[in-house]
Structure 1
Amino acid sequence: LTKRNRDLWGLCPFHQEDSPSFKVNPQMQSWYCFGCERSGDVFTFVELIEKTDKRGALQMLAERAGVELKKLSPEQKERADVRKRVLDMLKLAAQYYEYVLWKMPAGEPGRRLLESRHVGEETARRFQLGYAPAGRGFAEYLRAKKRSLVDAQEAGLMRRDGTDFFAERLVVPIRDERGQVLAFTARTVRQDEQRKYINSPDVITGHQFGVTNAVAPSGTALTDEQVRLLKRVTDELLLVFDADRAGRDAARKAAVTAAQHGMRTRLATVPEGKDPDEFLRAGGAEALARWKELVDRAPSAIDAVIEWLAAGLNPSNPNQVEAVGGQIREYIRQFPPTLHETYAELAERKTGISRHLLLNDPEPAARVKPGTNGSGARAPRPAGKKMTPSRYLVQLLAVRPVALEQLRSRITADELDEDDRGIFVRMLGSYERGGAGGLEADLNGYPPEEQDLIRRAWAAPPPNVDDEVAVELAQRIRLEHMKGMHGGIIRELSEAERGRDTERVARLESQARELGRAITDMERRG
């Protein structure tokens, strides 16, 4: 967080953004994001960040502050004790399975399976792989250690008859971010076993070949909790799923989940229908180099998904354009709203489908009243605009006319969102003519949707209404406008370079440098 005047500003942890819109007000002990519109206090923040409830947030904050909370009830204490016993049992089981795999004759089937998959002992030990033999070996081990078989049953490790739940399987511990064993998954070593209960070997193989910054989702989908944990160590994910339809569906969903937590995603597609495990093994001595080349070429996930959805598109076929455009539109809408415009622009460049079609639902056919020729104008659609910084500034100006003095030299109508420019100009004119009461005096002459917007702002004013917020909003809007202009120049520059138009390239490079310096200066001033 960076201090600006009385407040602190930073990038919002709850959505992806390039410019800080997350504001903390120390005096009010509150926070608000102008991008995703989430708000709250310190307890709400911890709940959202840690994905916990109020009690969990309170416990975390109390521990950090060294404050002891009220003691647990007998029922709560019993549940906590059971959890501790289960976790202790899981840790003990992991040690037992690993010992069997490497030190006992009964672990031979597991060792053969690892050998057939070319997984070395060093890599296997790094993951604490183990083997659960047939029979009641684990029960006998627990009796020798004077440990409760009931705890093993509650942990899901043993059946009631004392046989091992994972009998004749290679066992893989599943851990939390602290390395604590939470569960197991396992793969059968028997060819006649229908339930293979497989944990994909891709990650383990990756580590064996030197690709150590890899993790597996342990399931068919990347979850919010997993992304939250990954967010602690990186802002970018490289997704590697199988190249079949199920793998593509998983990649599409994972990209959305990651974006909702402010993470960027790229997508590596393993060629020739292989999975990462097969790809690395087939590479031989060049495996790591081939993998690096694959990673370096990986496009952004949204790029890849748009290509999938638009495969075979005939731009001259309106039915295809509408169908593909609808699929892309529905996919884009799953992402945070701040990304919609950017992704629609990308899709327009890649497919030729209008950005308007990708951002808006198709207009319904006009309904003709009986007895008319259907030539009447359609009534305006109700405003459903998201609360952008531009719209927030308009609402703030509606309830705080005195902020106009602070805004005159800091913002122009052209820098606002297109939908807000007209109302902004009209409001300025009203205040110029009639002072603070000018807006109310002129309101009946405004378009109906603008009247509705202003009256709603009067009835429910936006939070944090003061001159300082108005100035900060204006600065942010101007900065985003400048970045948009810079992006447009860069796109023109790419076209000029492809066309080998040296004069235009030189002119655009100069414009891009000048605007880039202005953006940097503005960001530095905060």
Structure 2
Amino acid sequence: MIPREDIDKVRERIQIEDIVSDYVSLRNAGTGSMKGLCPFHDEKTPSFHVRPHVGRWHCFGCGEGGDVFSFVERIEHIPFIEAVQFLARKAGIELRDEKGPSQNRGVTRARLVDAHTIAVEFYRDQLAKNPAAQEFLTGRGFDRDVIDSFEVGYSPDSWDELLRHLRGRGFTEKELAATGLFSTGNRGMYDRFRGRIMWPIHSITGETIGFGARIMGDGQPKYLNTPETQLYQKSKVLYGLDRAKKQISTERKVVIVEGYTDVMAAHLAGIESAVATCGTAFGTEHTKIVRRLIGDSASPSAGVQLSSGRSVGGEIIFTFDGDEAGQKAALRAYEEDQSFAAQTFIAVDKEGRDPADVRQQDGDEGVRELVESREPLFAFAIRSVLKGARLETAEGRVAGLRAAAPMVAGIRDRVLRGEYTRQLSGWLGMDEDTVRTYVRNAGGPQGQARQTPAQLAPRNQLRDPIERIEREALEVILQMPNYARAAGVDDLPAETFVVPVHRSVHDAIRAAGGVAAYAAKEEELQSRGVPDPAGKASSWFVEEVSERAEPEVVAAISQISVAPIPQHDPAGLWAYARGIILSLLRLGVTRQIGEIRGRLQRTDPDDDNYVALFTRLMQLEKQKRAYEEA
């Protein structure tokens, strides 16, 4: 029910790279191209590309791709209309007809976010009225500015005060039930959080999607979180990530703590890359989020620590408590994929304190020293296993070897495995050759990661020169339509492309009006004063082409529209684009010349068609010479 003009307005205002960068650490990948780790499948080397100039993204690993709306749909698991609303709010655009019939079919994400935003202000107002709640926070070293910065609040110890507040703001019973802010009993709905300190939990883009709550007294449960909702899935959320993501991407380091006050303490100590899980163990989905932000890769050097203390490939530092639960959490992290484990460190306070307690007792410097005291996860995990063995006895040492050897054998990096084999012999006090033999026997064939092929082979893997030129020409048309138009690409006949999928893409381009349609759109945007009219027109053009393509061709269009273009300056880009189009034209003319010559050989010179064919051959020969001399 949103008018097409409003959707186009959102597309014009939004920069796709800004949206994607909220979820993925993007790095330069050549002229007008950026890349990072795909957020839609697990990978160790970046194959996810974004072309800001055309407003498209594509993963060459899993084959997914599209525009900024499809990205938000996939990453936030929401329908198209809510993706438009999501981006419209970011762009400051008021959409029309948002309350049409389509909006009444269910609870929208936008309404849930609005309810949480109002709840944040409600809880903050309540905190300002409650001296005991304020004392709870200030007594832990957090002043008013910090409390306001993290938007900490307080839920009054009443049955339905927030419920009545949100009803008064026009929310329906169905919407209120879907927020997760309320429970239901015999008397109907009532406030889920009562008499607790409230921490808003934000999505990576900064929207409030849930709350973490701590009781002030001795009641149970001590901590209470928002239940699973349309907005909030705890296995995919890290508290503080919206504040920390820029620092994580810049430093390629993340510090993972266990509580909300630990995040606050770490940030106050200058460790602005600190985040926390929300009432659950650090799991696979958290790993994927972290790896995308630090730009993790499968480089053999990942996790290798330099003399400066910095780890090549980024660092993930856990500050688990020194108790048994913390050690179990470390071992769970160890079980994640190897490149992640090789970059992971553990920092445990000798007295078993968490970062918030360390800051209270030792100040900001104490928190920084705690993080600096980290040790590699491999070492921590192996030593944790050995703690249960009585190493003063021969039987205990053998038991320790049996427990630790499979862990060392499981290290896929051969050099790193050798180093830990030597360390294990030292920790056990056993002969190195004996330990090495046992580790070797404890190992097995290492599994290979499954590779998912892309829809089209990458351009640099194409061996057929015709297929390669056709692919390069389509890349020019979709990514640089202004250059393609100047090179005369709209004059290409339908039969120019011989590779079936290329011909289908070209058919969709022609159905969209060719690059002439792009030029008209650019002129229209320019007349309206839209910033970057060429870029916005390019994005619109690719979308138009996609809409006119067969469903099985859309993925190919997405891939071609973001494929990296060889590095050139602006003048070089024009020469490259012109050269590719001329090469394609020459191929087409040469192919037609061959066909007509064959027909001439099969035609009687006295036949009326012979003269027409010969005339056409002369025209094509002349055209070919012109292309060769251009």
Q: Distance in 1 between matches of 2:75 and 2:154?
A: 38
Give the match's secondary structure for 1:257.
coil
CA contact (8 A) 2:123 2:155 kept: yes
Residue of structure 1 equivalent to 2:146: 123
Q: Distance in 1 between matches of 2:113 and 2:406?
A: 45
TM-score (norm 2): 0.44
CA RMSD of the aligned region, Å? 4.8
**C-alpha deviations, 1:304-331, integer Å up to 9, x for none?**
222222345649657325422345258x
Q: Distance in 1 between matches of 2:170 and 2:83?
A: 38
Residue of structure 1 equivalent to 2:275: 215
Residue of structure 2 equivalent to 1:169: 196
- Call closer, same or farther: CA 1:197–1:344 in 2, change over 3 Å: same
Give the match's secondary structure for 2:127.
helix
Q: Which of 346, 353, 372 is the matching residue for 2:419? A: 346
Q: Which of 272, 280, 283 is the matching residue for 2:351? A: 272
Q: Distance in 1 between matches of 2:340 and 2:117?
A: 31
Residue of structure 1 equivalent to 2:123: 97
Give the match's secondary structure for 2:200.
strand
Q: Distance in 2 between matches of 1:156 and 1:277?
A: 28
Residue of structure 1 equivalent to 2:544: none
CA contact (8 A) 1:138 1:164 kept: yes
By how many angstroms is 1:268 displaced? 0.8
Residue of structure 2 equivalent to 1:140: 164
Residue of structure 2 equivalent to 1:416: none
For residues 227-266 of structure 1, the aligned pairs below 5 Å read: 227-234=287-294, 235-257=314-336, 259=338, 264-266=343-345
CA contact (8 A) 2:347 2:374 kept: yes
CA contact (8 A) 1:174 1:181 kept: yes
**C-alpha deviations, 1:407-432, integer Å up to 9, x for none?**
xxxxxxxxxxxxxxxxxxxxxxxxxx
Give the match's secondary structure for 1:349.
helix
Residue of structure 2 equivalent to 1:306: 382
For residues 300-449 of structure 1, the aligned pairs below 5 Å read: 300-311=376-387, 314=391, 317=395, 319-326=398-405, 328-329=407-408, 332=410, 339-352=412-425, 354-361=435-442, 386=448
Residue of structure 2 equivalent to 1:202: 262
Give the total of aligned pairs. 336
User: Percent identity, aligned pairs only?
Assistant: 19
Q: Distance in 2 between matches of 1:76 and 1:302?
A: 53
Q: Distance in 1 between matches of 2:142 and 2:449?
A: 53
Q: Distance in 2 between matches of 1:113 and 1:51?
A: 41
CA contact (8 A) 1:266 1:301 kept: yes
CA contact (8 A) 1:51 1:225 kept: no
Task: Give the counterpart letter for 2:348 in structure 1.
Answer: T
- Call closer, same or farther: CA 1:61–1:273 in 2, change over 3 Å: closer
CA contact (8 A) 1:168 1:190 kept: no
TM-score (norm 1): 0.52
- Call closer, same or farther: CA 1:295–1:89 in 2, change over 3 Å: same
Asked if 1:297 corresponds to 2:382, the answer is: no
Q: Distance in 2 between matches of 1:23 and 1:195?
A: 42
Unaligned runs of 5+ in 1: 33-38, 65-73, 334-338, 364-382, 390-526
Q: Distance in 2 between matches of 1:319 and 1:52?
A: 51
Q: Distance in 1 between matches of 2:415 and 2:72?
A: 29
Unaligned runs of 5+ in 2: 1-26, 50-56, 88-99, 225-258, 295-313, 426-433, 452-630
By how many angstroms is 1:56 displaced? 7.6
CA contact (8 A) 1:15 1:259 kept: no
By how many angstroms is 1:222 displaced? 1.4
Residue of structure 2 equivalent to 1:41: 63
- Call closer, same or farther: CA 1:125–1:79 in 2, change over 3 Å: farther
Q: Distance in 1 between matches of 2:281 and 2:150?
A: 21
Q: Distance in 2 between matches of 1:298 and 1:128?
A: 30
CA contact (8 A) 1:12 1:21 kept: yes
- Call closer, same or farther: CA 1:10–1:155 in 2, change over 3 Å: closer
CA contact (8 A) 1:222 1:257 kept: no
Residue of structure 1 equivalent to 2:110: 84
- Call closer, same or farther: CA 1:225–1:384 in 2, change over 3 Å: closer
